[in-house]
Amino acid sequence: METKNAKAIARKVSIAPRKARLVVDLIRGKNIAQAQAILTFTPKVAAPVILKLLNSAVSNAVNNLKLNREQLYVKEVFVNEGLRLKRMFPRAKGSGDMIKKRTSHITLVITSSTNLQTSKEEEQSGSKN
């Protein structure tokens, strides 16, 4: 049986990937209720963006794939580096320093815990033969 995964991607988010990774590491592997609670009370700039992305992935799972909301959990979440906007910052004697405003691409995949149980059962039955 093929597992159903719901995915949501936020591209060109104006948060540095290093700062966004601190937040996504908190919710990896958690169920949806725990992840939403963690993100609601995390005092980081990336938390509201990732919470919105999580809610979008849950909506994709419930409406498009007809998965049960109570059985969903965060299967994988990762942050890739997006564009770097280069800006000049004026310094002394007519020189300037380069400022790199970094952006992120955040990908979040959720699945149902029943999918996990059925895939484990298939692996065990397949390995016995």
30 forms beta bridges with none
> Exposed/middle/buried for 74, CB within 10 Å: 0-12, 13-18, 19+?
buried
State which CATH number among 3.10.129.10, 3.40.630.40, 3.90.470.10, 3.40.50.300 fits the domain covering 5-113: 3.90.470.10
The predicted pLDDT at position 129 comes to 52
Query: What pLDDT band is residue 117 in, cutting at 50, 70 and 90?
Result: low
Cα–Cα distance for residue pair 33/113, rounded to 1 Å: 13
The predicted pLDDT at position 46 comes to 95
Per-residue pLDDT of 67-104, as tens digits, reads 999 999 999 999 999 999 999 999 999 999 999 999 99
Residue 32 has pLDDT above 70, yes or no: yes
Q: What is the mean pLDDT of residues 18-35?
A: 94
Q: What are the residue boundaries of the structural domains of the chain, listed by start?
A: 5-113
Can you give the length of the chain in residues?
A: 129
The predicted pLDDT at position 4 comes to 87
**Nearest C-alpha neighbor of 14 from the set 109, 106, 107:** 106
Give this prediction's pTM.
Answer: 0.83
